[in-house]
Amino acid sequence: MAGFLYMSDLNAAVSPTVGSSSLTYAIVVRCGPHQQSQALSAFQFTKEVLLQGHEVLRVFFYQQGVHIASRLRVVPQDELNLAVLWQQLSLDYDLELGVCIAAALQSGIVDQQEASRYELGSDSLASQFTLVGLGQLAAASAECNRLVSFGGN
Amino acid sequence: MSCLMTLSHAPYGSQDAKESLDVALVLSAFEQQPAVLFLDEGVLQLLPTSQTPSSHKHIGKIVSALEMYDINELWVEQESLDRFSLVADQLSQTVNVIARGQVAQLCAQYDQHLVF
């Protein structure tokens, strides 16, 4: 019986889409808020994936993308505030927004714990975002059916 | 899940090379050793250099750590080498040289392709 279960697990790994059209995604955002159209594409793609009933394991913000997670940016009223868009999506779909901690610390994006650890006087990470290690990107890439990355060039 | 990483950034001048190599090492630490393709200015990451600009980590040291992390499948695009008048023997690592025309075929062999 154990062997049988093992075999069925193998089949599932080879063809994850059999019996269901739903896929598991991991999203990497490497473009910052200054690359507005690229950064917006990442958001719109993720939203569409969720709307179509797929699962998003995690959105991982890396390189310039970490700046999206700052709660200290002031966006002109007629421009889109990407942090707010992501926050709302996170609330609506219980979506995990992971920010690379090494890149974030270098960019002045810190949560309360890091702010007190380094005696910075203030935190700057927007709510719904969490600081995580680069390993969370590797873990997501291992688990997902599709890894989609935005920006970086 | 097999993964190919394309690294196309020059070693210094920005954090891009360092940050992309970090991803390679972390993937390996999570038992997903990627194959790595050095493209365009990315081939310069493979040049043996003793000195680095201040404020930059030594990219050569990270590149030589790839082997320790069991990342042994390294590819370099021939046309990128030509652009800098380099030959594979001058590089710090043992690499497979691949022609531009074959790169698409290489990419197709992997489940994932991370482009930096």
Residue A20: the pLDDT is 62
Q: Residue B18: pLDDT band by 50, 70, 90 thresholds?
A: very high
Bridge-based pairing state of the strands B35-38 and B96-98: unpaired
Q: Is the pLDDT of residue A14 over 50?
A: no
Which positions in chain A have a beta carbon within 8 angstroms of at least one beta carbon in chain B?
Answer: 62-63, 102-103, 133-135, 137-139, 141-142, 147, 149, 152
More confident residue, B50 or A99: A99
Would you give the DSSP letter of residue A67?
A: G
Query: Closest to B32 (Cβ–Cβ): which among A103, A133, A138?
Result: A138
Domain layout of chain B by residue ranges: 3-115
Residue A1: the pLDDT is 31
Mutate to test the interface with B, among A141, A144, A145, A147 (most CBs of B within 10 A): A141
Query: What is the residue range of A66's domain?
Result: 24-150
Number of cross-chain residue pairs from A and B with Cβ atoms under 8 Å apart: 38
Average pLDDT (A135-146) is: 94
Does A133 reside within a domain? yes
Average pLDDT (B54-76) is: 93
Average pLDDT (B2-9) is: 95
Residue A152: other Cβ atoms inside 10 A? 22
Q: Is the pLDDT of residue B59 over 50?
A: yes
Tokens standing for B90?
A: 């001058």
- A32: closest CA among A17, A24, A42, A20? A42
Mean pLDDT (chain A, rounded): 87
Average pLDDT (B76-85) is: 97
SS (H, E, C) B24-67: HHHHHHCCCCCEEEECHHHHHHHCCCCCCCCCCCCHHHHHHHHH
Does A90 reside within a domain? yes
> Which chain B residue's Cα is nearest to A138?
B27
Does A68 reside within a domain? yes
Q: Is the pLDDT of residue B19 over 70?
A: yes
- A96: closest CA among A126, A60, A42, A71? A60
B46 close to B10: Cβ distance less than 8 angstroms: no
Does A18 reside within a domain? no
Q: Is the pLDDT of residue A40 over 90?
A: yes
Q: Within chain A, where are the H helices?
A: 2-14, 36-51, 82-93, 101-106, 112-117, 135-143
Cα A30 from Cα A67, distance rounded (Å): 10
Cα A86 from Cα A98, distance rounded (Å): 11
- Residue-wise pLDDT for A50-99, tens only, equals 999 999 999 999 999 999 999 999 998 888 899 999 999 999 999 999 99
Q: Residue A16: pLDDT band by 50, 70, 90 thresholds?
A: very low
- Contacting residues of A for B22, CB less than 8 Å apart: 102, 134
Does A85 reside within a domain? yes
Write the CATH number for A114. Answer: 3.40.1260.10
Length of chain B: 116
Mean pLDDT (chain B, rounded): 94
Cα B18 from Cα B8, distance rounded (Å): 12
Q: Is the pLDDT of residue A17 over 60?
A: no
Average pLDDT (A95-110) is: 97
Residue A153: the pLDDT is 63
* Percentage above 70 pLDDT, chain B: 100
Number of domains in chain A: 1
- B14: closest CA among B97, B116, B85? B116
- A144 catalytic residue (yes or no): no
A146 close to A48: Cβ distance less than 8 angstroms: no
Does A13 reside within a domain? no
Tokens 């980590």 appear where?
Answer: B57
Cα B40 from Cα B80, distance rounded (Å): 5
The domain defined by B3-115 folds into Hypothetical Protein Ychn; Chain: A, (3.40.1260)
Indicate the range of A104-108, B49-53, B88-92 predicted with least confidence.
Answer: B49-53
